[in-house]
Amino acid sequence: MTDDHADTTSAAQAPDEAAAPTLDALMGERRKKRGALADAGIDPYPSRFDRTAVAADLHSRHEGLEPDVRTGEQARMAGRVTAVRRHGKLSFVTLSDVSGSIQLLLQQASLTDQAAAVLDSIDLGDWIGAEGEVITSRRGELSLEATELWLLSKALRPLPDKWHGLTETDTRYRQREVDLLANPDSRRVFEIRFAAIRAMRRLMEHRGFVEVETPILQPQAGGAIARPFFTHANALDIELSLRIAPELYLKRLVVGGFERVFEIARNFRNEGISTRHSPEFTALESYQAFGDLTDGMDLTEALVMAAAEAATGRTTFVTGDREIDLAGPWPRRPLLDALEERLGRRVHPTDDREELARVCRAHGVEPLDEWGPGKLVFELYDQVLLPETTEPVFLVGYPVEVSPLARHTADDPTMADRFELCIAGKEFANGYSELNVPEEQAERFEFSAAAKAGGDAEAHPADQAFVRALEYGLPPTAGIGIGIDRLVMLLSEVEAIRDVILFPMLRPEAG
């Protein structure tokens, strides 16, 4: 691939900045300071530190204090140094911990010898501990007037610009730890992510769902239509797929008597990477015995609302140039009605295929030969209707042809009891009344297996283990899947999926 007919030995493979003289010098300075402390008998890497307060805690307890107040309260704090302002015999240090930041006020005259030595050697980025009295400065800022300081760990590498932070996207993704410590906005996004997931987990547990773990390495990927990643198990000498969805295993657990299960599942799909697609993404999937798609929509709505509330406390969010209000309840519209309104004519999977293909072309959808009528109807939704959605809406009723695991509608064998949640042109959730008739499931699998034999890389062979499970009896069941990454994108108002994934997939570093 690389036509390196280069004559030289291309020794210019200097591993990143190892050869950068400036960086070497900066790191050398910091090593020197660390050494000086060690020489003075101060351990630069102490094994533990007990703190009594974090920044947010102090701020909330001492809110609104007048300037120049001494509280008499002693505190021990720890965190990273994010700013230093030295004024001769008086210094201010901004200490950032997990909760926020607080100012240390250091008067040379009242420092211990160790504190003086540590202060002398402090660099931006160092982890330090401090002990002293909680006061307000003359300007009224809540501060810890420290008399003792400890170095907890040295930052040998210089931090990014304290004002501009780190902007280069490549470095932000590759060295997320630096991004997180330098860019409060980045940190905020992940706080939203964690809070949203926590809220959804809490709600699921509250409703009696148990959190389970199903295989990521699977002999046969299933539960979705997608190209899998493959890997190899040496012990068994077999090829395995990374899961594309946990669905089939979760339903087997319902067969086994766990009537309400969910998994916050990392899924892997060997497909394009874009602003909205990551090869590795997280979905919440849940299955609820005795329910149908109505219960699925109820649960989906509750989950999204709970996530929004816990993560941001708001219901309105800006995405692109639209403002979205998540306040429910969300309308539930038959998909075919919505399509009729948009297209000016009714379409249905039983319509003549050529006629549907003409409708597609008329709306800029180029039909492929292998698409059946159900797929054509689905593509009209996907390419015409979906991008125009703004406020949350459940579209209900999808062609069976594109819903191989969903129960067909009672009075229409070509349509499935399935819904999708659409917000701002994107699909956020998908759910249905599960198909639980083993023979019908086996037939649907045969259809897919035929497609695979026909060369469709996204189709999968029949999953006999799953059909066998259905033969033991799957109760009526409602299933849902929610795209966590996209939900977090909406809640944190970022446009790139990589901004909500801690360590997104990238090409390996260096040559």
- By CB under 7 A, what part of segment 242-301 binds RNA? 269, 271-272, 274-279, 281
The answer to whether 224 contacts RNA (rule: CB under 7 A) is yes
Residue 82 region by backbone torsions, left for phi larger than 0, else alpha for psi between -120 and 50, else beta = alpha
Q: Is the dihedral of CA 502, 313, 195, 285 positive or negative?
A: negative
For the chain, state the CA radius of gyration: 29
Binders of RNA among residues 407 to 426 (CB under 7 A) are 426
334: three-class secondary structure by DSSP? strand
- Tell me the window of 58-66, 156-164, 248-256, 342-350 that interacts with RNA (CB under 7 A): 156-164
Determine, following the binding rule CB under 7 A, whether residue 89 of this chain makes contact with RNA: yes
- Tell whether residue 137 is a contact of RNA (CB under 7 A): yes
CA-to-CA distance for 440 and 424, rounded, in angstroms?
35
What is the amino acid identity at position 493?
E
Sequence-distant (≥ 6) Cβ neighbours of residue 148 within 8 angstroms: 111, 112, 114, 115, 130, 131, 132
Does residue 437 bind RNA (CB under 7 A)?
A: no
Closest CA to 225 of 271, 284, 174: 271
Instruction: Please name the helix (run of DSSP H) or strand (run of DSSP E) that holds residue 335, with its range, or none.
Output: helix 335-343
- The Cα–Cα gap between 478 and 417 comes to 10
- Whose tokens are 């070509």? That residue is 414
Among 17, 337, 354, 388, binds RNA (CB under 7 A): 17
In the chain, the amino acid numbered 91 is: S
Closest CA to 479 of 425, 418, 422: 418
State yes or no: residue 29 binds RNA (CB under 7 A). yes
Could you say whether residue 88 binds RNA (CB under 7 A)? yes
My answer on whether omega of the bond before 349 falls inside 30° of 0, hence cis, is no
Residue type, 41: G
Stretch that binds RNA, among 2-10, 192-200, 300-308, 467-475 (CB under 7 A): 2-10
Residue closest to 137 by CA, chosen among 93, 99, 98: 93
- In three-state secondary structure terms, 437 is coil
Q: Is 433 in the site for RNA (CB under 7 A)?
A: no
Residue 14 as a binder of RNA (CB under 7 A): the answer is yes
500 alpha-carbon distance from chain centroid: 5
**Per rule CB under 7 A, is residue 185 in the interface with RNA?**
no
Find the part of the chain contacting RNA (CB under 7 A) among 78-86, 190-198, 288-296, 304-312. Answer: 78-86
Per CB under 7 A, does 183 bind RNA? Answer: no
Kindly identify the residues of this chain, within the stretch 112-131, that bind RNA according to CB under 7 A.
123-124
Contact between 403 and 387 (Cβ < 8 Å): no
Interacting residues with RNA between 32 and 51 (CB under 7 A): 33
31 forms part of the interface with RNA (CB under 7 A): no
Instruction: Give 469 or 488: the residue with its C-beta nearer to RNA.
Output: 488
| Selected binder of RNA within 31, 38, 45, 140 (CB under 7 A) | 140
| CB closer to RNA out of 209 and 378 | 378
CB-CB contact of 474 with 434 (8 Å): yes
Comparing CB distances to RNA, the nearer of 255 and 399 is: 399
* Between 47 and 163, CB nearer to RNA: 163
| Binding residue (CB under 7 A) for RNA from 19, 38, 40, 98 | 19
The answer to the question of residue 133 lying near RNA (CB under 7 A) is no
H helix runs in 372-476, sequence order: 373-380, 438-453, 464-471
CB of residue 476 vs RNA: minimum separation in angstroms?
A: 24
Q: Which is nearer to RNA, 21 or 454 (CB)?
A: 21
Question: Footprint of RNA on residues 465-484 (CB under 7 A)?
Answer: 483
- By CB under 7 A, residue 455 contacts RNA: no
Largest CA distance in the chain: 90
Shortest spacing between CB 144 and RNA, in angstroms = 12
Checking phi first, is residue 223 left (phi over 0); if not, alpha (psi -120 to 50) or beta? left
Among 43, 60, 61, 90, binds RNA (CB under 7 A): 90
Of the candidates 49, 133, 153, 165, which one interacts with RNA according to CB under 7 A? 165
Evaluate whether 84 touches 121 at the Cβ level (below 8 Å): no
User: 19 or 217: whose CB is closer to RNA?
Assistant: 19
Residues 328-387 interacting with RNA (rule: CB under 7 A): none
Stretch that binds RNA, among 47-55, 289-297, 433-441, 493-501 (CB under 7 A): 493-501
- Verify binding: residue 218, RNA, rule CB under 7 A: no
Q: Determine if 507 is a binding residue for RNA (CB under 7 A).
A: yes
How far is 277 from 485, CA to CA, in rounded Å? 9
Stretch that binds RNA, among 155-163, 199-207, 213-221, 328-336 (CB under 7 A): 155-163
Name 260's bridge partners.
288
Regarding 309 and contact with RNA (CB under 7 A), the answer is no
SS3 state at 173: helix
Residue from 9, 25, 369, 455 that binds RNA (CB under 7 A)?
25
Near RNA by CB under 7 A: residue from 26, 69, 180, 216: 26
- Helix, strand, or coil here: 87? strand
Return the number of the residue (327 or 450) whose C-beta is nearest RNA.
450
9 scored as a contact of RNA (CB under 7 A): no
- Tell me whether residue 176 or residue 426 sits nearer to RNA (CB atom): 426
Give the whole-angstrom CA distance, residue 455 versus residue 452.
5
